[in-house]
Every structure is written in C-alpha cells, then in structure tokens.
Copies of this chain bind each other. A is one copy, B any other.
Amino acid sequence: MNVIPDNFLGLDAAASDYRKARYAILPIPYDSTVSYQVGTRNGPRAIITASQQVELFDEEYKREFFAAGIATLPPIAPDMAGPEHMHEVIHEAARKVVRDGKILIGLGGEHSISSGLVRAVLGKFKRLSVLQIDAHADLRAEYEGTPYSHASVMRRVVEMGVPIVQVGIRNYSLEEHRFMTRARLAPISVRELRENPDWIQKAVDGLTEDVFVTIDIDGFDPAYAPGTGTPEPGGMDWFQVTTLLKAVAMHRRIVAADVVEVLPLPGSAQTEFLAAKLIYKLISHIEMNRRGR
C-alpha cells in the first residue's frame, strides 16, 4: 500500500519529522469572527489536501527543497468562548513552535489568527516587521464588538510596535484612512504596482531584517483566488506576488509566515491549490537565499 501521507506536500516520515524540520505548518481552522461569507475554517484541510498534488521539484530553480524538513502539526481546535480566548490559544501554540526554532507557517482560517502568531514570533525576534499582502487594510480599532476581529488584526500588530508594509490594499474605511495618516502608513495599491516600476524596492525598504509575511489570499485578484470571503476586484496576480516574495527572501530574513482567508468553493480546488503552491514557492525562495545568513 503505497499511499501519500496526509501532511503538507504528502512528505514521508523523514521529511516531515517535526524534530528535524526547519519549517512547521500550523493549521488553524477558525472563522468565528466572520459575519459575511463563512467557511475559511475549511481552508487548512483543503490546502493540505491540495498540496499533495504540488510537485516537489521547483521548475524555476531546477531543484527540490523539501529535504529541509517541513512538519505538519495537528490543527488547533477552535475555542468557542470568544476571539480573545482563541487569540491566547493560538499564541500559546505558536510560541512553542518558535521556541523550538522552527520557521512557523500558519494556515488560516480567518485573518484574526495572525495577531497571535505575530505576537509569538515577536517574542523571539524583537525587531520584527510584517509584510502584509491583502486587499483590506484590517486596521479598524474593533469590529462587530471585538478588537480581535479579522478586520482589526493589523491594528493589533501595529500596537505591538511592529512596522508593517502593506501591498495590494484596495479597500479600507475612512476611519482606517485616518489611522493610516496618523501612523504614517502608505499602502502600495495595485494601481501603484502597475504604474511604479520600483514598487518592489519600496516594499523591501520598508521592512526590517526579520520579516513575518502574512498573505491574505484576497490580496490576489479573485480571478486567481476566487475562494475567499470578500473577493475584491482589481487585485494582484501570481507573478506580482511571487516576484515580491523572491525579492524579500533575497534581501531580508523571512522568519515566519501565514496564508489566510482561503475559503474552499464547492467543486473547485483552484484557490487552495494556489495557496499550497505559494507556500512551497515561499519555502523555495527562503531556502535558496539562506546560505549567507
């Protein structure tokens, strides 16, 4: 019985052993602060299933990269007592992974999970910055009665004193605009991507040496990632996102990441497949550039 192991990329025991792995995939099937399209709780399971169809050979670098070790952790059970409790549960789980020296990769679930992850990584990397690829600013003070909402997650990160660089943003409120002005945040819009050839350099310049990459899948145009809750038109494409990640991997040290807001659609694996390939691409970029560090 020659079966594909049920972990990220379908790796064998050696390549997915947590003790030896450089990367740890942490599934967080949680979406309880979402009030519009629901179902990102099914994202982690779908991404892992799709990843088992991703080729281990990277055709850009002409190499395989899984030998670095990529462990898949069991999913975090949802705590239904409310988002503040859930934030603590996520922080606890992530802190252990970071302490174990792994490069943590969270799988959402909704975007609210990122604040617990960033907080955990910040515990080790004091001069952390965050690269946010997203359609929405997520900078509200609070939303629908809670400060731990998906719509306020980056506000929480900013409050931790962590610099953020926002790319792909094309939807935010007047309140968020005012906060951005105060906080001197100037997101790189998709219009700017199309008009300013130096946008990648600008994004990299805004980051500190240690970077947490948070990718809300709706940063992509819905044409490429239709499976998400609020499909904002006018988004990024595959080449824009992966070229940016390559540049960040070359010029900075990516110490953790997450991919969130994947909402599997009935009958199509397009979005989860893109998410799975994106994560392996990110790992490939990190691996190719880690020598000198």
A residues whose Cβ falls under 8 Å from a Cβ of B? 1-4, 6, 31-33, 35-39, 41, 53-57, 59-60, 62, 64, 73-85, 93, 143-146, 149, 169-174, 176-177, 189, 191, 194, 221-224, 226-227, 230-234, 238-239, 242, 265-270, 273-274, 277-278
Contacts and interface: CB of A to CB of B under 8 A. Distances in A.
Contact of A80 (B59, B73, B81, B143): B143
B83 A144 contact: no
11 contacts: A3-B76, A32-B80, A55-B171, A57-B174, A64-B174, A77-B144, A80-B149, A82-B83, A222-B224, A230-B273, A231-B273
Most buried by B among A41, A55, A227: A55
A234 B239 contact: yes
Nearest to A194: B239
A59 B81 CA distance: 29
B53 A36 contact: yes
Contacts of A73: 1
A268 B270 CA distance: 13
B3 A74 contact: yes
A272 B145 CA distance: 28
A32 to B, nearest CB: 4
A32 B174 CA distance: 28
Contacts of A239: 191, 194, 234
A221 B224 contact: yes
Contact of A1 (B56, B77, B189, B223): B77
Given A55-B172, A171-B59, A37 B269 contact: yes
A230 B272 CA distance: 11
Contacts of A59: 169-172, 177, 189
Closest 3 CB pairs of A and B: A82-B82, A266-B266, A223-B223
A291 B30 CA distance: 45
A131 to B, nearest CB: 19
